[in-house]
Chain A
Amino acid sequence: MKGAHDMGGVPGYGPIKAEPEREEPIFHDPWESRAFAITLASGMLGKWTLDRSRHARERQEPEQYLANSYYETWTQGLETLLLDSGLITKGELESGRASSSSKSVAVDEKRAREILGTGGPTLMDVPIKPRYQVGDMVRVKDEQSTGHTRVPGYAHGHIGSIEIYHGVHVFADTNALAPETGGERRGEPLYSVRFTARELWGESANSRDSVSIDLWQPYLEDT
C-alpha cells in the first residue's frame, strides 16, 4: 500500500531538528508511555501479528498520519486493532465503559517481561531453497500492493544485487492479514538487496554510495 508512511525519498519535509541526545527523554509525556505500554500489552494477547499492527497504523488517512505524532498513530492503530479483533466494541470505545466481558485474559507482569525478553523471531526452519545467491542481480517488481507490504516505493522497478541472504523469514505481506482474510505465517527467502545511489536517485548522487533494503523473494524478479 502506497501511503503517507512510505517516506523514503519524498521531498519537502525539511530539516531534522534532532533533540540533543543527552537531553531527550524516553517519553516526552506520561501519556506516551501509557500508549506504548497498552499497545504492547494488548499485542501480548496474541490476537494480531506485529505486521498487522503496522498495517493498522498505516491505514489512517494520509493527512491524519502526517498530522499525528508517533504515539498518536500508535493509539489510533491500537483502537483499530481492538475493534477489528472484537476485543472491544465501538460503544465501549466511545463510552469508555465495559459493556461486555472478554474471554481474553491479560498477560501478567512476569509473562510480560518474559515476552519482552524473548521477542518474536521470524526466522523459519523450512526447506525452501532461495532462488537467488549473493551477487545475483535482481529487479524489484513494479507492482503496487493494495495491502501491507515492506517494499518501499522508491525501490520499485530498480535493479540491485543480492548482498546478504538472511534465510527464510515470515513474509510480512501475508502475516499482516487477519486470519479470516487469508492471513498466515508463511515463510519466504529474505535478502538484503543493495542498490547504488545512482540507480535509485540518478546521476547527481555520489557514485560510491548505496542503499541496502531487506526484500522478500516475492518482491523480486530476474533481470
Chain B
Amino acid sequence: MPHDGHDDFTDPPSDIALRVKALESLLTEKGLVDPAALDAIIDTYETRVGPHCGAKVVARAWTDADFRLRLLEDGSAAIAEMGFVGRQGEHMVVVENTPDVHNLVVCTLCSCYPWPVLGLPPVWYKSAPYRSRAVSDPRGVLEEFGTTLDANVEVRVWDSTSEMRYLVLPMQPEGTEGFSARKLEPLISRNSMIGVEKVLPPGNTR
C-alpha cells in the first residue's frame, strides 16, 4: 500500500510522483504556491470535509420536518444553515428518494460532485464505466452496487453538467423511526447520498 512506510523505501517513486514533486518545487520556488496553504487544502478534504457532513444533513431531514421542507425547496440555503458551504457546493439541489422514485447522480463530462457535503469523489465516480453507463443503464449500474429496484420504481438520473450540485436524500430505513439524528448519522453512507445504494437498517453491513 502507498501509505506503508516500508514500501516507501523499497519502491522507487513513479514517474508521475516525480513529475508532481518537480512541479510543486518549481511553483514553490517561484512563490506561486505556499507550502502551508497546500497542507491546509489537503487537510480540509482529508479530515474536515466529507460524507459525515452530508449524513448530518440527511439525518436532520429525517428528524426535522420543517428542515426537510426547506432542504427540498432551497438546498443551498438549508445546507448553508448547517454550515456546509464552500467550493463545489455553491448551488445545491436536494432530490428525494421515495418508494416510487429513485435518484442517481453522475457527472458524465468530468467529476462534478458536492464537496462541502460529500468531500472528494471516490475513484469509481470519476471512472469511465460509471460515467458512461449511469445515464444509459442506471438499473444495471445500481445492480452492480447491489441495489435492486422494482421495475415500477422510476429511476431519475441527474447529470451534473453545470455548477449545480446534487445530493440525494435517501429513504430512512425501516425500524429506525424515532431514532435521534445522532443515532441515524452513522447509518448514512456516502453511496446512498450519490444514489447508488439504499441506507440499510442498523446491524446490516455491505
A residues engaging B (CB < 8 A)?
A: 5-11, 13-21, 24-31, 33-38, 40-42, 44-45, 54, 57-58, 66, 69-72, 75, 78-79, 82, 87-88, 92-93, 96-98, 101-102, 104-109, 111-113, 115-123, 150-152, 154, 164, 166, 169-170, 172, 190, 192, 197, 200-201, 206, 208-216
Q: Hey, which chain B residues are within 8 Å of A9, CB to CB? A: 108, 132, 135-136
Decide if A19 touches B123 in the complex (CB within 8 Å): yes
Distance in angstroms between the alpha carbons of A12 and B141 in the assembled complex: 14
Decide if B133 touches A26 in the complex (CB within 8 Å): no
Residue of B nearest to A102 (CB): B30
Distance in angstroms between the alpha carbons of A80 and B154 in the assembled complex: 43
Residue of A nearest to B157 (CB): A211
Q: Hey, which chain A residues are within 8 Å of B189, CB to CB? A: 21
Distance in angstroms between the alpha carbons of A101 and B161 in the assembled complex: 38
B residues engaging A (CB < 8 A)?
A: 2-3, 13-14, 16-17, 19-27, 29-34, 36-42, 44-46, 50, 85-91, 93, 106, 108-111, 116, 119-120, 122-124, 126-136, 138-139, 141, 144-145, 151-164, 189-191, 196, 206
Q: Hey, which chain B residues are within 8 Å of A78, CB to CB? A: 23
Known: A21-B122, A116-B41, A190-B162. A200 touches B136 (CB 8 A): yes
Partner of A213, one of B89, B138, B161, B190: B161
Q: Hey, which chain A residues are within 8 Å of B126, CB to CB? A: 70
Q: Hey, which chain A residues are within 8 Å of B120, CB to CB? A: 26, 36
Decide if B161 touches A37 in the complex (CB within 8 Å): no
Nearest chain A CB to B42's CB is how many angstroms away?
Answer: 5
Decide if A26 touches B45 in the complex (CB within 8 Å): yes
Decide if B124 touches A70 in the complex (CB within 8 Å): no
- Give the top 6 A-B pairs by smallest Cβ distance, nearest first: A8-B108, A214-B162, A31-B17, A112-B37, A18-B124, A119-B87
Q: Hey, which chain B residues are within 8 Å of A166, CB to CB? A: 91, 162, 164
Partner of A6, one of B86, B108, B153, B154: B108
Decide if A210 touches B132 in the complex (CB within 8 Å): no
Partner of B111, one of A10, A70, A111: A70
Decide if A40 touches B108 in the complex (CB within 8 Å): no
Decide if B2 touches A7 in the complex (CB within 8 Å): no
Q: Hey, which chain B residues are within 8 Å of A58, CB to CB? A: 110
Nearest chain A CB to B137's CB is how many angstroms away?
Answer: 8
Partner of A119, one of B40, B85, B158, B191: B85
21 A-B pairs within 8 Å (CB atoms) are namely A8-B132, A13-B128, A18-B144, A29-B2, A41-B27, A41-B38, A75-B16, A96-B25, A98-B29, A102-B32, A104-B32, A107-B34, A118-B87, A119-B88, A121-B91, A154-B108, A166-B164, A192-B164, A206-B155, A209-B155, A214-B159
Distance in angstroms between the alpha carbons of A102 and B89 in the assembled complex: 32
Decide if A209 touches B157 in the complex (CB within 8 Å): yes
Nearest chain A CB to B9's CB is how many angstroms away?
Answer: 14
Known: A5-B110, A31-B16, A31-B20. A116 touches B38 (CB 8 A): no
Decide if A210 touches B136 in the complex (CB within 8 Å): no
Q: Hey, which chain A residues are within 8 Å of B16, CB to CB? A: 31, 69, 71-72, 75
Partner of A41, one of B33, B91, B135: B33
Decide if B109 touches A20 in the complex (CB within 8 Å): no
Distance in angstroms between the alpha carbons of A197 and B133 in the assembled complex: 12
Known: A20-B206, A107-B34. A37 touches B135 (CB 8 A): no
Decide if A96 touches B26 in the complex (CB within 8 Å): yes
